[in-house]
Amino acid sequence: MPIDQHTAPRPSDPAPQPATADPIAKLHLDAGHCAVVGLQWGDEGKGQIVDMLAPLFDLITRFNGGNNAGHSVLIGDQKFALHLVPSGILYGDKINVIGNGVVVNPQGLLGEIDGLRARGVKIAQNLRISSRAHVVMPYHRTEDQLYAQVTAAVSSGAEDIGTTGRGIGPCYADKAQRTTAVRVGDLLRPDDLQPQIRRAVSIKNAILGALAQLAQQPFTPFDADQVLAEALAFGQRLEPHITDTTHLLQEAIESKKRILFEGANAALLDIDHGTYPFVTSSTTSALGVYTGAGVPNGTLGNVIGVAKAYTSRVGGGPHPTELKDALGERIRTAGQEYGTTTGRPRRVGWLDLMAVRYSARLNGATGLVVTGLAVLAGIETLRVCVGYKLGGQMLDAYPADGLLLARIEPVYEELPGFAQALGDCRSFGELPPAARAYIERIERFVGVPVKLVCVGRKRDQVLAR
């Protein structure tokens, strides 16, 4: 059935949720466009905030990353895990844009579309995909996995990045390489696509064969005809959604529509400004909005930075405040810190204010949202990292370099904990004094107002400051 004529019954159609005036009003958003970005290493709870803000906007736009991201949104008792589709899809009346800066795995996207439809979510012209977005091809996943296996096999002592294995890095690498790249728009032009895929598959087979040999892994070369046939079939199914989203967004801006830019991954995973090389392969910070969606400087009136009240990280790389003990296990359990995309246990630790301040500045955050505060209940003394020492010297700047960061020594400040469970608090004033003091400390250190505090995943657990 063509996508536009999708008329399946929608028994559990999630009701559009009206904006609860209070928390949103407290964000003091100006009338312009807005980005929501993560300030740590991901999984800060951006999905919940985007979902809450969506009613104020006409378009919800993804500008970076691929299906390595995982946003979970709770609507009533239903949990929706989104990887590529913007969270605004859960509202029937929003235009959801997958911008040119995103890398699209067509199989993953179609699976997500089918899964959402089966749960009654309408997906038609409300989902638009940039013809300039790059396609994650089947060999990209193999490449991602082979690089991890090579790292293990050659035992050079270098740490593995610990990718999600979704082929995101290899796809962005091909975008920069150009010769081996495939864009979404190409899927609609069989005559152009055929020679392009033949060339890419020949080159990839040679490279992957060599990598497999190094990793001492078996490798079956990709068959160009099969890759082409699959790609064309994906193109056919996605065609109704594929468009020039740069034009679409520019027109939207001209006609005074409001756009919400939904960040995926997070600022410390930014390819340029994150803890390189332990990062993802796109511009995850708000800086990526411009190139990843094709909108001009000045578009963003508001940048909402989301930070968790503690820190988590999945995959490899330094994590200065990591707790590898029973307390870490307790936070992981209380915070359900297991990956939405890969199910891996997240490496949790104390709140690293050096990192959050750096990210807030980088993103030009106009307001902060602190999530996960309730997870810290019952810990007698809380610690927050307020400085870094390297070779006995205090550092002024955040060393956004994975190898340097691994050598720093965190300097902590202790703050009194709170015993009380916070899930039932319905206003900032109802929080115990120690919890409020914790939030105030964050605000003072980072220098950006904390506008909202989340004490749970439900809508009424977002408290305005």
Residues that bind ligand IMO (CB under 6 A): 38, 41-43, 68-70, 161-164, 166, 168-169, 264-266, 269, 280, 314-316, 340
Identify the active-site residue in 33, 71, 134, 140: 71
* Pick from 169, 168, 196, 195: nearest CA to 183: 196
Q: β-pairing, 71-75 with 347-349?
A: unpaired
280 interface partner picked from Mg ion, ligand IMO, none, CB below 5 to 8 A per type? ligand IMO
Torsion, CA 110, CA 114, CA 120, CA 124, rounded to 10: 40
Tell me: does residue 43 bind Mg ion (CB under 5 A): yes
318 interface partner picked from ligand IMO, Mg ion, none, CB below 5 to 8 A per type? none
**Segment near Mg ion (CB under 5 A); pick from 64-72, 82-90, 119-127, 406-414:** 64-72
At position 134, the amino acid (one-letter code) is H
CB of 107 to ligand IMO, least distance (A): 16
86 interface partner picked from ligand IMO, Mg ion, none, CB below 5 to 8 A per type? none
Rank residues 43 and 186 by Cβ distance to Mg ion and give the closer one: 43
CB of 437 to ligand IMO, least distance (A): 28
38 interface partner picked from ligand IMO, Mg ion, none, CB below 5 to 8 A per type? ligand IMO
CB of 18 to ligand IMO, least distance (A): 26
User: How many other C-beta atoms are found inside a 10 Å radius of the C-beta of residue 81?
Assistant: 13
169 interface partner picked from Mg ion, ligand IMO, none, CB below 5 to 8 A per type? ligand IMO
Would you state the structure tokens that stand for residue 444, as one six-digit string?
């003072």
CB of 48 to Mg ion, least distance (A): 12
The H or E element containing residue 104 is strand 103-104
Phi, psi of 265 (to 5 degrees): 60, -145
CB of 318 to ligand IMO, least distance (A): 11
100 interface partner picked from Mg ion, ligand IMO, none, CB below 5 to 8 A per type? none
47 interface partner picked from ligand IMO, Mg ion, none, CB below 5 to 8 A per type? none
Residue nearest to Mg ion (CB): 70
**DSSP secondary structure letter of residue 120:** T
Do residues 61 and 260 lie in contact, with contact meaning Cβ atoms separated by under 8 Å? yes
Rank residues 294 and 318 by Cβ distance to ligand IMO and give the closer one: 318
Rank residues 180 and 265 by Cβ distance to Mg ion and give the closer one: 265
Cα–Cα distance between 417 and 334 in angstroms, integer? 15
Cα–Cα distance between 373 and 177 in angstroms, integer? 43
264 interface partner picked from ligand IMO, Mg ion, none, CB below 5 to 8 A per type? ligand IMO
Helix (H, G, I), strand (E, B), or coil: what is residue 367? strand
Cα–Cα distance between 439 and 449 in angstroms, integer? 10
Q: In angstroms, what CA-CA distances link 52 with 175, 261, 452, 458?
A: 34, 13, 11, 10
Rank residues 160 and 430 by Cβ distance to ligand IMO and give the closer one: 160
User: How many other C-beta atoms are found inside a 10 Å radius of the C-beta of residue 433?
Assistant: 9
Rank residues 209 and 277 by Cβ distance to ligand IMO and give the closer one: 277
| Contact set for Mg ion, span 66-85 (CB under 5 A) | 70
Would you state the structure tokens that stand for residue 441, as one six-digit string?
């400390």
Examine the residue annotation and report whether 272 is marked as an active-site residue of this protein: no
**Segment near Mg ion (CB under 5 A); pick from 33-41, 124-132, 241-249, 338-346:** 338-346
Cα–Cα distance between 239 and 242 in angstroms, integer? 5
Rank residues 82 and 382 by Cβ distance to ligand IMO and give the closer one: 82
CB of 190 to ligand IMO, least distance (A): 30
Rank residues 109 and 425 by Cβ distance to ligand IMO and give the closer one: 109
Residue nearest to ligand IMO (CB): 315
CB of 322 to Mg ion, least distance (A): 18
Cα–Cα distance between 98 and 91 in angstroms, integer? 16
Cα–Cα distance between 32 and 367 in angstroms, integer? 15
Length of the chain: 465
Examine the residue annotation and report whether 43 is marked as an active-site residue of this protein: yes
Please compute, for residue 18, the number of CA atoms within 13 A of its CA located in the half-sphere on the CB side. Answer: 3
Tell me: does residue 342 bind Mg ion (CB under 5 A): no
Rank residues 63 and 428 by Cβ distance to Mg ion and give the closer one: 63
Would you state the structure tokens that stand for residue 303, as one six-digit string?
């940048």
Cα–Cα distance between 255 and 244 in angstroms, integer? 17
Preceding omega of 277 cis (within 30 degrees of 0): yes
Cα–Cα distance between 197 and 203 in angstroms, integer? 10
Phi, psi of 202 (to 5 degrees): -60, -45
Tell me: does residue 315 bind Mg ion (CB under 5 A): no
Helix (H, G, I), strand (E, B), or coil: what is residue 47? helix
Rank residues 51 and 252 by Cβ distance to ligand IMO and give the closer one: 51
Tell me: does residue 86 bind Mg ion (CB under 5 A): no
CB of 420 to ligand IMO, least distance (A): 29
CB of 317 to Mg ion, least distance (A): 15
Identify the active-site residue in 33, 43, 144, 241: 43
Do residues 196 and 188 lie in contact, with contact meaning Cβ atoms separated by under 8 Å? no
Tell me: does residue 340 bind Mg ion (CB under 5 A): yes
Q: Name the residues annotated as catalytic.
A: 43, 71
Residues found near Mg ion in the complex (CB under 5 A): 43, 70, 340
